[in-house]
Amino acid sequence: MTTPVRDDAILALALDLTASLPNRDRAQRVVDVVARVLGADAACLLRSERDELVPIAMHGLSADARGRRFRLAEHPRLAAICASVEPVVFGPDETRPDPYDGMIGGAFDVHACLGAALRVDGSLVGALTADAIDPRAFCGVDPVFLARLAALAGATLRTIDLIDALERRAAQQGLIARDLLDAALDARGGELLGQSRAMARVREEIELFGRTDFAVLITGETGVGKELVARMLHRRSLRAERQLVHVNCAALPEAVAESELFGHVRGAFTGAETERIGKFGVADGGTIFLDEVGELSPASQAKLLRVLQHGEVQRVGSDRPVHVDVRVLAATNRDLDVETGTGRFRVDLLHRLAVCRVHVPPLREHPEDIALLAGHFADQRRRQLGLGPIRFEPQALLVLARGRWPGNVRELDNLVSRAILRAARGVEPGAPVRVSSEDFDHVDGDPIDGDTVPPLVAAVREPAPPQYAGSLRDATDEFQRRMVRDALVRARGNWAAAARELGLDAANLHRVARRLGLK
């Protein structure tokens, strides 16, 4: 590595700190520069969250890595990096497992690894790592240069966090305590995963509608995560410190629905021996989430309309209305616009419920998020089952990308969980669990047709078996096809990212792909 190359890398990262860049691009440039100047097969920038490291940008790692959280207690190399004040280079004879085994070109024997803890004002904010399949790839790396890279990476991560904090402050009127509460609630209640445009749009709507007191109607198919959206809306509201009451309207028998929702007075009916304030009474001052609201009876719909119009609840058996201060979130997998046309649902109630609408797209409309979600579910199951690292073979991720997923994210979670159980049979405790396409049972829905294939699948679909006479040129072309296809799988169909991994200009990669029959 020449001094000019090092200086150029340092200068590029320093200039990025002052440039007006989206945070995602700012972080990605760090790992791209690190991989290039160190000759690494993979690099990753991770943020520290309590006792875990969470990837925010990566180069050369399989797509499912982005959905994982690396707990330091389970990854001794990462723990050693975070505990050291100096960059750490692991030698070729290092026996501690690499956290990215199986995530770098499918290799399960990654020994060349280095990393540096990122600290700001003495506090750990994250880590920077680089890996190579060649065990001696980093033997000659200058520790002073590594320390400078780490310092700039730490400053970049700090800049990203500051920008995020300022944006949240502007959005939530500077309530820093609310940001901390959101983080704590996210850890308990989950988060909406996905980097596709479709999911980014849902998150934007959550941020926009969350801080209002307007009623929100959440629509979408079964299993897309409507309840999670409701919880996120509540956490971003000024009522976040108050209760969120969940009511499954489909599970309410018509005979008791009004009592459950609005309460009753003593003696209102046989068995009413005590007064009951109902779910709206419990939610007073907070938020109520009416799941499957389209299943409510006409009588319950009329009473719900009164709550939305006047903030008043009339308990069964009482002539005196009770005022409640409740924000209403509702969800349904029905098309309520159609239901109003048939008289099944009140038009005036729909208008009150749907002041704001959030539509959660089905999984088939954002297949580029499937690998990330699979990685997230794999991490959850690994901890639940006490397994070693869980890794997906590239073909397994491709099989997932080709499904139609009528059960959406819930179906994906179930399928991945069953596949992990099958793959883990006979595996020694703590050893890597390798999930192949054969571990999946039937993926619900027909394979995606060629005319409607999403960009990711179209980019990596297997071509017809090559017909050649065995010449050197034919064998070379086939080898290049495999490299390009594998790079596209790891890059989730992103041609620019695949080009960077292969060390090619994007335009050159497109020309090579056309020559090889991949486009």
Question: Which helix (H) or strand (E) covers residue 206, if one does?
Answer: helix 197-210
Residue among 27, 67, 24 at smallest CA distance from 43: 27
Residue ranges with strand state E in 79-122: 88-90, 112-120
3-class SS of residue 129: strand
Residue 479 or 53, more confident: 53
3-class SS of residue 288: strand
Are 374 and 392 in contact by the 8 Å Cβ rule? The answer is: yes
Give backbone dihedrals phi and psi of 59, rounded to 5 degrees, phi first. Answer: -135, 125
The crossing angle, in degrees rounded to 10, of helices 226-235 and 176-189 is 160
CA 275, CA 290: separation in Å to the nearest integer? 23
pLDDT attached to residue 157: 80
pLDDT attached to residue 2: 47
Residue among 268, 269, 307, 309 at smallest CA distance from 290: 307
Q: What percent of the chain has pLDDT over 90?
A: 37
pLDDT per residue as tens digits for the range 128-150: 999 988 888 888 888 888 888 77
Residue 256 or 47, more confident: 47
pLDDT attached to residue 492: 64
Q: Which two tokens mark 299?
A: 């009588």
pLDDT attached to residue 17: 53
Give backbone dihedrals phi and psi of 88, rounded to 5 degrees, phi first. Answer: -115, 125
CA 454, CA 197: separation in Å to the nearest integer? 14
The pLDDT mean for the chain works out to: 81
Residue 11: pLDDT band by 50, 70, 90 thresholds?
A: low
pLDDT per residue as tens digits for the range 211-243: 999 999 999 999 999 999 999 999 999 999 888
CA 159, CA 161: separation in Å to the nearest integer? 5
pLDDT per residue as tens digits for the range 84-107: 989 999 888 888 888 988 888 766
3-class SS of residue 91: coil
Least trusted range by pLDDT, from 28-42, 113-127, 255-269: 255-269
Question: Which helix (H) or strand (E) covers residue 219, if one does?
Answer: strand 216-219
* DSSP 8-class letter at 332: E
3-class SS of residue 441: coil
- In sequence order, which residues have a C-beta less than 8 Å from that of residue 116 and are 6 or more positions away? 81, 86, 87, 88, 127, 128, 146, 147, 149, 150, 153
Other CB atoms closer than 10 Å to residue 355's CB: what's the count?
15
* Cα 268 → chain centroid: 48
Please, what are the domains in the chain? 3-169 (3.30.450.40), 197-363 (3.40.50.300), 366-447 (1.10.8.60), 455-519 (1.10.10)
CA 181, CA 158: separation in Å to the nearest integer? 20
pLDDT per residue as tens digits for the range 298-321: 988 998 999 999 888 888 877 788
The backbone region for 292, taken as left when phi is positive above 0, alpha when psi lies in -120 to 50, beta otherwise, is left
CA 31, CA 38: separation in Å to the nearest integer? 10
pLDDT attached to residue 188: 40
pLDDT per residue as tens digits for the range 420-441: 999 999 888 888 999 999 999 8
| Greatest distance between any 2 Cα atoms in the chain | 92
pLDDT attached to residue 464: 41
Amino acid found at 162:
L
Are 359 and 319 in contact by the 8 Å Cβ rule? The answer is: no
Q: What is the pTM of this model?
A: 0.65
Least trusted range by pLDDT, from 106-115, 284-293, 385-394: 106-115
Amino acid found at 339:
E
pLDDT per residue as tens digits for the range 135-189: 888 888 888 888 887 788 877 787 777 666 655 554 444 333 344 444 444 444 4
Residue 446 or 27, more confident: 27
pLDDT per residue as tens digits for the range 327-385: 999 999 999 999 999 999 999 999 999 999 999 999 999 999 999 999 999 998 998 88
What torsion do the CA atoms of 364, 366, 367, 369 make, to the nearest 10 degrees?
Answer: -140
Are 130 and 43 in contact by the 8 Å Cβ rule? The answer is: yes
